[in-house]
Amino acid sequence: MAASTETDIVVIGAGAAGLMCAATAAYQGHRVLVLDHANKAGKKILMSGGGRCNFTNLNTTPEHFVSANPHFCKSALKRYSPWHFVELVERHGIEHVEKAPGQLFCAESSKEILGVLLTECEWAGAEIVLNTAIKRVSKTDNGFSLATSAGTITCQKLVVACGGLSIPTMGATGFGYQLAEQFGLTVLPTRAGLVPFTLQPDDKAWLAELSGISTDVVASTAHARFAEPMLITHRGLSGPAMLQVSSFWTPGQGVTVDWLPQVVDPVAELVTERQRHPNRGLERWLRQYFSQRLAAALTDQFGWQGNLQQFSNERLSAVAATLKGWSFKPSGTEGYRTAEVTLGGVDTDAISSKNFEVKSVPGLHFIGEVLDVTGQLGGFNFQWAWASGWCTGQAL
Ligand code: FDA
């Protein structure tokens, strides 16, 4: 790249939203330059969905997103639906599978999704320049000027697609938030979302022993409830149930776990079990629902030793209450180091929901995760990146 470059549009961030926006805008005939400080485009796409990228969710609705303004995401999600992205993926011959209802993953590898976006950028004529640090952005009379490690770049329109703070080792920075503040926008407090919980020492002591065990639960915190698997790790509690709840949890709050969502009336079941097998231990009954290790640990932890004939009705009710509503207070979360997303971000009140332009700064746009719009687990975050990127690219 020359020491001084002039182009129509600069997109900062060669991630999901930025690449989608760049290709769409370049197809409109604009000269588009995508800048990224990383040495590779789309790193999060590559690591997503366990290497198979859960690239969309067919059941996407605005209710699957957390935002201070729950209406903001509606327009873009309607105009660029999951089916539009499926059509793009199929046009490129990528095979996909529906792993859980609505959740589409690559049959082979997430490399294929990145391949689709890079091919689209190439066909459309959008140029991607990596390893480029952006030192300063200033407003000019008819656009923007960027001081970068590759020289000065001027453009008429600037799209900020820098993503959030999660996984700094993959290139995440707070640069998008800094730019927003520079242009007078409010950045709502950010925190890690879709992230495992860490535990207080007492809970960690018995649960860490069970690392690797996954069991179906219903996990809840104020205003949110998810029926999904929970994974016990050596650091705390993870798996889809905990990741989902983490996006609704605030420090100091408790989390409740129903260990037996499949049993509607455990007291009745336990009373019947006591009648039929008075000399059996409770652990034996638990084993029909849990692995042997987990059944033994629950029995030890909650002091449920002894034969069932020694359990009064009151004690059986207490067992049932613990299994249906065990509460714990996380010590925190694993934070941005392992979080899939960042909650909060650029306040959408200042942004047009049609073309993602900053209302007070014509030509400046914010898209993707840098905005205060965060999807639940299951392909919603990529759908947001595609939708916000496409709607902006169309409108530039
Ligand atoms: P994204 O983070 O993709 O891109 C931002 C780009 O900006 C990066 O390339 C970065 O290098 C660049 N950048 C940052 N600061 C910069 C600076 N100062 N200068 C220049 N460039 C800069 N979602 C989903 O729907 N399905 C899934 O399966 C998964 N799985 C998943 C797994 C893991 C481990 C993580 C961490 C996340 C997911 N996600 C997910 C979430 C999803 O990856 C995320 O929401 C999108 O990638 C957000 O897209 P953006 O384009 O907004 O940011």
Question: pLDDT truncated to tens, each residue of the chain (396 aa)?
Answer: 656 899 999 999 999 999 999 999 999 999 999 999 999 999 999 999 999 999 999 999 999 999 999 999 999 999 999 999 999 999 999 999 999 999 999 999 999 999 999 999 999 999 999 999 999 999 999 999 999 999 999 999 999 999 999 999 988 999 999 999 999 999 999 999 999 999 999 999 999 999 999 999 999 999 899 999 999 999 999 999 999 999 999 999 999 999 999 999 999 999 999 999 999 999 999 999 999 999 999 999 999 999 999 999 999 999 999 999 999 999 999 999 999 999 999 999 999 999 999 999 999 999 999 999 999 999 999 999 999 999 999 999
Q: Nearest C-alpha to atom 16 of ligand 1 is from which residue?
A: 162
Q: Nearest C-alpha to atom 21 of ligand 1 is from which residue?
A: 36
Cα(359)–Cα(361) distance, integer angstroms: 6
> Cα(101) to centroid of ligand 1, in Å?
24
The verdict on the CB of residue 174 being under 6 Å from ligand 1 is: no
pLDDT at 170: 87
> Cα(266) to centroid of ligand 1, in Å?
43
The verdict on the CB of residue 340 being under 6 Å from ligand 1 is: yes
pLDDT at 4: 80
> Cα(66) to centroid of ligand 1, in Å?
17
Task: Please state the φ and ψ torsions of residue 14, each to the nearest 5 degrees.
Answer: -95, 55
> Cα(14) to centroid of ligand 1, in Å?
9
pLDDT at 53: 98
CATH (one of 3.50.50.60, 3.20.20.30, 3.40.190.10, 1.10.10.60) for 4-192+340-394? 3.50.50.60
Half-sphere exposure for 331 (CA within 13 Å, toward CB): 10
pLDDT at 1: 62
Q: Quick one: tokens of 342?
A: 């960042």
Check: CB of residue 68 under 8 Å from CB of residue 348. yes
* CA neighbor of 32 nearest in space, from 173, 160, 136, 155: 155
61-383-102-71 Cα dihedral, nearest 10 degrees: -10
Sign of CA dihedral 111, 117, 123, 128: negative
The verdict on the CB of residue 166 being under 6 Å from ligand 1 is: yes
The verdict on the CB of residue 193 being under 6 Å from ligand 1 is: no
The verdict on the CB of residue 363 being under 6 Å from ligand 1 is: no
The verdict on the CB of residue 56 being under 6 Å from ligand 1 is: no
pLDDT at 3: 66
Check: CB of residue 57 under 8 Å from CB of residue 102. yes
* CA neighbor of 115 nearest in space, from 137, 99, 92, 135: 92
Where would I find the beta strands (DSSP E) of 13-126?
32-35, 54-57, 65-66, 96-100, 103-106
- Collapse the DSSP code of 261 into the 3-class scheme (helix H, G, I; strand E, B; otherwise coil) and give the result: coil
From 134, 136, 340, 371, give the residue whose CB has the most ligand 1 atoms within 8 Å, as the site to mutate: 340
The verdict on the CB of residue 11 being under 6 Å from ligand 1 is: no
The verdict on the CB of residue 52 being under 6 Å from ligand 1 is: no
The verdict on the CB of residue 18 being under 6 Å from ligand 1 is: yes
CATH (one of 3.30.70.2860, 3.40.50.300, 2.40.30.10, 2.20.28.270) for 197-333? 2.40.30.10
- Based on the number of CB atoms within 10 Å of its own CB, is 102 exposed (0-12), middle (13-18) or buried (19 or more)? middle
Cα(162)–Cα(168) distance, integer angstroms: 12
Outline which parts of the chain fall under CATH 2.40.30.10.
197-333
* Single-letter residue type at 187: V
The verdict on the CB of residue 13 being under 6 Å from ligand 1 is: yes
From 33, 39, 44, give the residue whose CB has the most ligand 1 atoms within 8 Å, as the site to mutate: 44
Outline which parts of the chain fall under CATH 3.50.50.60.
4-192+340-394
